[in-house]
Amino acid sequence: MRVLIVGEVPFVDTLAGLCLAKNHKVDLFVADDLEDQGTLDKMVRAASRCQVAIESLNDSRESKQWLVEGIEANISAEAILLVSALAASATEVASWTERPARVAGYGLLPPIAVTGLVEFAPALQADFDTAARARRFWEELGFTVVRVPDGAGLVRPRMVCALINETVQTMTAHNLSVEALDSAVQLGLNHPRGPLSWADEIGLDVVVGTLEGLWRAWGDERYHPAPLLRQKVYAGHLGRKTGRGFYDYDAPAPRSYAP
């Protein structure tokens, strides 16, 4: 099977590695690289050859719509489109496409290979064949598939990003250190990791994009991104992938796979 993967790190790198391990042919493109016309042309050609296209871009609704429309316009009529339903629901994303029946949503959070869980949410417009093929694809990659109702943020990303947002609000309100907050949550709540360390691994741009999607969907102030989160994103301090977020890293996370 030929798989097209387009979006942001670290999601696309990990997905590419999992697909290659199952002997799928992979065409991988990082969304930021598509500003180059030559790379964009390569992505269009790769889209026309794939049976499964996977999109993962959640820094903003606008960039996501641009990417989804570009992918969907070029994949064959037989291909299915798997979209990350964090910054927008799969149903909303499907409404941007010419053939919404072939769109299914999913939800993943790093570390993807460790958790082994993918949330699965076909768009309301998706037909039975799309839903069945999408579920089978995730299962063949080795994921435990949990079907959840479609909606921005789905379930686990919604809960994790809300926790990150509340942690940042608490940190700034009480002038606490990053390390103190992470330790308090990890040790006091028996949480698997500190939420700010986890935010760095997810990508602060993805966290903000997910919160904005939840805020649009629910209008609840708890999803309004904390000012410090926005400031970090404006400064380009996106976490491990850029070498700096709430923590500093020796270097940006290395690419695990390159096209």
Same domain assignment for residues 128 and 45: yes
Same domain assignment for residues 79 and 36: yes
Distance between CA atoms of residues 139 and 118, nearest Å: 9
Least confident of 78-82, 107-111, 112-116, 220-224: 112-116
Same domain assignment for residues 125 and 176: no
**127-147 pLDDT per residue, tens:** 999 999 999 999 999 999 999
In a domain, 252, yes or no: no
In a domain, 249, yes or no: no
Same domain assignment for residues 97 and 176: no
Q: Where are the alpha helices (DSSP H) in the chain?
A: 11-21, 37-49, 61-72, 90-94, 112-115, 128-140, 156-174, 178-188, 195-202, 204-218, 227-234
Residue span of the structural domain in which 235 resides: 156-242
pLDDT above 60 (res 202): yes
Same domain assignment for residues 143 and 166: no
Share of the chain above pLDDT 90, in %: 89
Please give the structure tokens belonging to residue 196: 């700010």
Q: How much is the pLDDT for 258?
A: 43
Torsion, Cα 66 67 69 75, to 10 degrees, reads 160
Same domain assignment for residues 105 and 23: yes
**35-44 pLDDT per residue, tens:** 999 999 999 9
